[in-house]
Amino acid sequence: MKEAEYELLLTQRLILQPRAELTAYGKDDAVNGLGSGLSDVALGLRLRYEFSRQFAPYVGVEWNGTFGATADQARANGDATKDTRYVAGIRFWF
């Protein structure tokens, strides 16, 4: 699994965070519904407003998709191979 994200400062407090995650497997695992090769990709954007460094609410959208043999196994089980989610939350540090 490889993951990457970057923070783009739109203002001192408003931050846009693009994110990407790729997952690949070396061999098939039928028990867990995973195929070899590129298995799934997740891409997303989050926009947060930092009231302080310790408290920042955010909203965002994430797109997930499965590929190759993993997608074939998902289709055989009647599962979707693509999904879009809207997210909202609070990032906090203490």
Q: In Å, how far are 3, 43, 77 from 89, measured between CA atoms?
A: 20, 17, 32
What pLDDT is recorded for position 58? 97
> What is the enclosing helix (H) or strand (E) of 61?
strand 55-66
The mean pLDDT of 9-13, rounded to a whole number, is 95
What are the pLDDT digits (tens) for 12-66?
999 999 999 998 888 887 777 777 878 889 999 999 999 988 999 999 999 999 9
Residue reference for tokens 């997303």: 44
pTM greater than 0.85 (yes/no)? no
Q: Which two tokens stand for residue 26?
A: 């070396």
